[in-house]
Amino acid sequence: MSSTKDRNMSEESKIGRSTTVHLTNTQRVQNPFSGMDNRDVMEDAALLAAGHGLVSVQRDFKLGALIARATLGSSDGFERLSSVDDDLKEALRYEIRKPYRSLPLTQFLLAALCAGCAIVQGMDQTIINGAQDYYFRDFEVTDKALQGFVNGAPYVVAAVSGPALNLLLNKNFGRRGTLAFGCFFAFVTAILQAVSPNLAVFIFSRMLLGLAVGVMSSTTPVYAAETAPAAVRGAMTMMWQMWTAAGIMIGLGVSAGLGEVEMRGSGPLAGPESKWRIMMGLTAIPPLVVGVLIYTLPESPRYYLERGEISKAFDAMRRLRRSNVFAARDLYLSYKKLEVENEINQGANILSRLRQSLKTRRTLRAFQSSWFVMIMQQMCGVNAIAYYSTSMFMAAGYSRKKAMEVSVGFGAINFTFALVALWLIDRAGRRPLLIFTFPIMSLCLFWTGGSYMIPAAGVRTISTMASIFVFTAFYSVGPGPVTFVYAAEAFPLDIRALAMASSTSVTWMLNFVVSFTWPKLTASWGVEAAFFWYASWNVVGFLFTLFLLPETKGRTLEDMDMVFAVRNRDHAKYQCRVVASFWRRRDACLAVDPAARRPRPSSPTGSDGSTEAVVGRGDDAAPQV
């Protein structure tokens, strides 16, 4: 017992005082009822309801608060509460057994609206796939660098403006107002692109589109997560990636469908090169629909809580839950957590909290890991395919019509395997999915590059298509879904909003780099070498994940502080021992911590021999594999 205590003291002194304080803060946020018994909780909830004009539901607040406290550490904790009647207990049991069937229609409509926001982005990303050849000919753009800039313009604006604009809009106008802003700009820029009289106006409209992309990509997952019950929150957050894949498929389908349409008659939409205007104009439909419907759904209760508008927060939560008690339970828990967060922050602004957090290894490693997965989502090469698949397939020997049809297949596979990822991600874990998929994705891109060297046209086209399709399938269950889920989990609560916005900026900046450089890359190196370049990046991704990326699956917020406090070199040393054990024994499984299967290698230690902060609970003192 004393040795364990000494070890913990050594860990705290090794990590540093700031991290130790942060662990305490995390514990307080996780259990905002610390120091309160059932009577205290019920009295506090009753006062909260009475003080904000909710006397009629005061009993519901008391019951909800009691259940929130009882179920904080155990979902069936309500079974021990004598004040909860049998009917309510049965409703709570049903919520555990059938979490989706326990949701009201409004929750599904909100999920559908968030899906619409993702479709807006996905469609905007890929509509240029089929349209670009036409608008480049129409505007007489032949310079490869300029072509890349035109295609990538929205994403550099999203990267630069996203964090500040997102925080400003969310603070003043809420989640719905921010999404309405994004939909407005997406709609206006779609029309402006379609009627652009010259290249300058077209580039300007695409840059304005970046404002919409930046705020919608940051706000939509937050809106979904803040309104969903805990049991389905992960799936709701992941829907952003899944429905972005659906938007990618729709954009490619629209491009293929209009690619062979003959534009007859006179006017700006007539002529063989003007069909791109209809393609771009059709991207106005999804944001128009979402923008019209957004205010028919409730605002995030968290937004109202931050403004002290408890009555509005309860009204919003009531529309998102089956009963007043369920709404009061989730609202009261959010209220208490926000109360603790405000007490911890003590008026400090988010930038000062970020500066303070960056002094700790825990936060630095969270940034390192989150930025890595964001970088690899782009540098794995998938968006080069999303933007330029038509020209890729044409270079392999397909006709334009056939190349656009095959591109739709790319989008369909992306969406289909995103559905598979919903089932996999919380079962297999984040790190194992990346370790498994990066090597296969690398081999697929080497295969793709080699396919262009095949002299027989028939074999070359089939080989190119097959390699890209296999690559897409593995991307959709690996870097695709893992990226945003991992980044959302990695950061401390008090800086999560800004840290997540910065991570989103990283992915958009790299998105711009990929779309900007691909035309020049293929012109200078050739399409074969361009694919080899991205194949090599997947090797980098595999090695980084294997030796430096911590696992986050199934970890509490307190565990995360321990996970990310381990030094890089100690984590890498441990993983080297795991790899050596794998080759010696040949029975290791990437998805299972070897500590659960055989005697564990010694814990990471500091250079002075003291024990470093380690991952897990109890005796599980090694980073999860």
The Cα 42–Cα 64 span in angstroms is 9
Residue 18: is its pLDDT beyond 70? no
The Cα 424–Cα 419 span in angstroms is 9
What pLDDT sits at residue 620?
34
102-131 pLDDT, tens digit per residue, is: 899 999 999 899 989 989 888 988 898 888
What pLDDT sits at residue 4?
42
- The DSSP annotation for 467-480 comes to HHHHHHHHHHHTHH
Q: What is the mean pLDDT of the segment spanning 459-470?
A: 96
Average pLDDT, whole number, for the chain?
83
What pLDDT sits at residue 27?
65
What pLDDT sits at residue 6?
44
Residue 477: is its pLDDT beyond 80? yes
Band of pLDDT at residue 271, cut at 50, 70 and 90: low
Residue 171: is its pLDDT beyond 80? yes
71-88 pLDDT, tens digit per residue, is: 887 788 899 888 889 999
What pLDDT sits at residue 262?
63
Residue 617: is its pLDDT beyond 80? no
Residue 605: is its pLDDT beyond 70? no
What pLDDT sits at residue 348?
64
What residues contact 576, with CB distance under 8 A and at least 6 apart?
547
What pLDDT sits at residue 558?
58
**Would residue 404 be called left, alpha or beta, if left means φ above 0 and alpha means ψ between -120 and 50 degrees?**
alpha
- The DSSP annotation for 311-358 comes to HHHHHHHHHHSSSHHHHHHHHHHHHHHHHHHHHHHTT--HHHHHHHHT
Q: What is the mean pLDDT of the segment spanning 194-223?
A: 91
Of 104-113, 384-393, 517-526, 585-594, the least confident: 585-594
Are 318 and 214 in contact by the 8 Å Cβ rule? The answer is no
Are 225 and 325 in contact by the 8 Å Cβ rule? The answer is no
Of 32-46, 261-275, 359-373, the least confident: 261-275
Band of pLDDT at residue 556, cut at 50, 70 and 90: low
Q: What is the mean pLDDT of the segment spanning 351-361?
A: 72
410-429 pLDDT, tens digit per residue, is: 999 999 998 888 788 777 88
Band of pLDDT at residue 298, cut at 50, 70 and 90: very high
43-60 pLDDT, tens digit per residue, is: 999 999 999 999 999 999
What pLDDT sits at residue 606?
41
Amino acid at 236: M
Q: The dihedral of CA 362, 363, 368, 373: what is its sign? A: positive
572-584 pLDDT, tens digit per residue, is: 888 888 888 877 7
Q: Which of 624, 603, 551, 623 is nearest to 8 (CA)?
A: 603
What pLDDT sits at residue 448?
97
Cβ-based burial of 398 (10 A; exposed 0-12, middle 13-18, buried ≥19): buried
Residue 543: is its pLDDT beyond 50? yes
Band of pLDDT at residue 261, cut at 50, 70 and 90: low
The Cα 172–Cα 6 span in angstroms is 48
- To the question of pTM greater than 0.75 for the whole model, the response is yes
What pLDDT sits at residue 521?
93
Q: What is the mean pLDDT of the segment spanning 558-568?
A: 78
What pLDDT sits at residue 241?
80
Of 262-276, 402-416, 493-507, 522-536, the least confident: 262-276
Residue 607: is its pLDDT beyond 70? no
- Domains contained in the chain, CATH given: 31-97+302-347 (no CATH), 103-297 (1.20.1250.20), 353-625 (1.20.1250.20)
Residue 314: is its pLDDT beyond 90? yes
